[in-house]
Amino acid sequence: MKLTFRWYGENDPVSLEKIRQIPKMSGIVSAVYDVPPGQVWSEESILKIKSLAIKNGLEFEVVESVPVAEEIKYGGENAPMLIENYCENLRRLAKHGVKCVCYNFMPVFDWLRSELEHQNEDGSNSLAYNEETVLSLDPLTSELSLPGWDESYTKNELEGLIKKYKALGKEGLFKNLSVFLNKVIPVAHEVGINMAIHPDDPPWDIFGLPRIITDEESIDRFLSIVPLKENGLTFCTGSLGASKNNDLVKMAKKYADRIHFLHLRNIKITSDREFYEVGHPTDCGSIDMLGIVMSLVEGGFDGYVRPDHGRMIWGETGRYGYGLYDRALGATYIAGLFEATERLLKNDK
Ligand code: DNO
């Protein structure tokens, strides 16, 4: 496995100089942020990220995300052209050494939380989700703003989009995902990029919008659409783990060879559809982090790993979920889990 760290570019308060000092860190996970979803990325922008990373002793082999334009997801008339742009981005990224691309197929909103500064007993704060609060929010007027959301829509555009997806439903969305995969995966295969879809976060419908990568059944269906290795997963433990119906230790074993990117983070589930984010170790929350890593190592997992959302600790402020300190603690914990598991497994044989 290769340990990586998400970096949001030159405006990220967490600098590459700091990231490189985290033990065992091999590279960054980043993206081109200077063009809207659907457009082709300039080679210059790609090369700039790469050269900044290299200057700091880091690799740039993982992109998160090449975003999928809404029109591809709802199947608009420009979808074929936008899918071609997507393929072109993969060719360009492969040319400059990228080996894994993370993306998602969530309509309109990416990850969703109801609280950005949930106060924890130890004085830290973290992101939290409470379904009741979410249901009381109106997505058209809500002031809540998250780093993963595209905030460029006007109220009317957003209203139109939500209507389209409601009419499309889960089956329609799955069909459009198939169209996308049937075009994109053969290109990924040809240029040597592993595609890694990110599960829906949280893994259930929100605001009446369909969400389709949520559990074992939907992942089985997704993987069988194009049964090539390059059609793979980002295994995000905090996303899938928010639903108690998902047995992550079992799923990690089952999908180990199709998991190209691992987002490891822990959450504490406080009741049905209610949780807050905690430190990475197993004992801090509801997710069996060690069990998941053991399953992956046993299953032959050989992908990229990154610590996911951290709490804000030691007075740090910054991008919610993406401060330095708690993610760095997470990274060393993850490195320890892998070191121990790999060593034990080797001695077993
Ligand atoms: C949240 C992230 C997501 C993820 C996208 C992938 O912190 O895990 O925003 O990057 O869903 O496309």
Q: What does the H/E/C string look like for the chain?
A: CEEEEECCCCCCCCCHHHHCCCCCCCEEEECCCCCCCCCCCCHHHHHHHHHHHHHCCCEEEEEECCCCCHHHHHCCCCHHHHHHHHHHHHHHHHHCCCCEEEEECCCCCCCCCCEEEEECCCCCEEEEEEHHHHHCCCCCCCCCCCCCCCCCCCHHHHHHHHHHHHHHHHHHHHHHHHHHHHHHHHHHHHHCCEEEEECCCCCCCECCECCCCCCHHHHHHHHHHCCCCCEEEEEEHHHHCCCCCCCHHHHHHHHHHHEEEEEECEEEEEECCEEEEECCCHHHCCCCHHHHHHHHHHCCCCCEEEECCCCECCCCCCCCCCCCHHHHHHHHHHHHHHHHHHHHHHHHC
Question: Are residues 292 and 259 in contact, defined by beta-carbon separation less than 8 angstroms?
Answer: no
Cα(308) to centroid of ligand 1, in Å?
9
Catalytic entry in 102, 263, 280, 304: 263
Substitution candidate for ligand 1 out of 100, 102, 213, 262 with most atoms within 8 A of CB: 102
Can you give the pLDDT of all 349 residues of the chain as single tens digits?
999 999 999 999 999 999 999 999 999 999 999 899 999 999 999 999 999 999 999 999 999 999 999 999 999 999 999 999 999 999 999 999 999 999 999 999 889 898 999 999 999 999 999 999 888 877 777 666 665 566 677 788 888 899 999 999 999 999 999 999 999 999 999 999 999 999 999 999 988 899 999 999 999 999 999 999 999 999 999 999 999 999 999 999 999 999 999 999 999 999 999 999 999 999 999 999 999 999 999 999 999 999 999 999 999 999 999 999 999 999 999 999 999 999 999 887 6
Q: What is the pLDDT of residue 148?
A: 55
Nearest-atom index, ligand 1, CA of 148 = 9
Q: What is the pLDDT of residue 150?
A: 64
Residue with CA at minimum distance from ligand 1 atom 12:
103
Name the nearest CA neighbour of 74 among 42, 105, 46, 116. 105
Q: What is the pLDDT of residue 134?
A: 86
- Angle at which helix 155-191 crosses helix 216-225, to 10 degrees, equals 60
Name the nearest CA neighbour of 3 among 20, 56, 12. 20
Please, what are the domains in the chain?
Answer: 2-348 (3.20.20.150)
Q: What is the pLDDT of residue 143?
A: 65
Nearest-atom index, ligand 1, CA of 65 = 12
* Nearest-5° Cα angle at 167, 165 to 171: 80
Substitution candidate for ligand 1 out of 30, 62, 146, 198 with most atoms within 8 A of CB: 198
Q: What is the pLDDT of residue 146?
A: 61
pTM of the entire structure?
0.96
What residues line ligand 1, using a CB cutoff of 6 Å?
64-65, 102-104, 110-111, 148, 198, 263, 309, 321
Torsions phi, psi for 129 (to 5 deg): -130, 130
Q: What is the pLDDT of residue 144?
A: 62
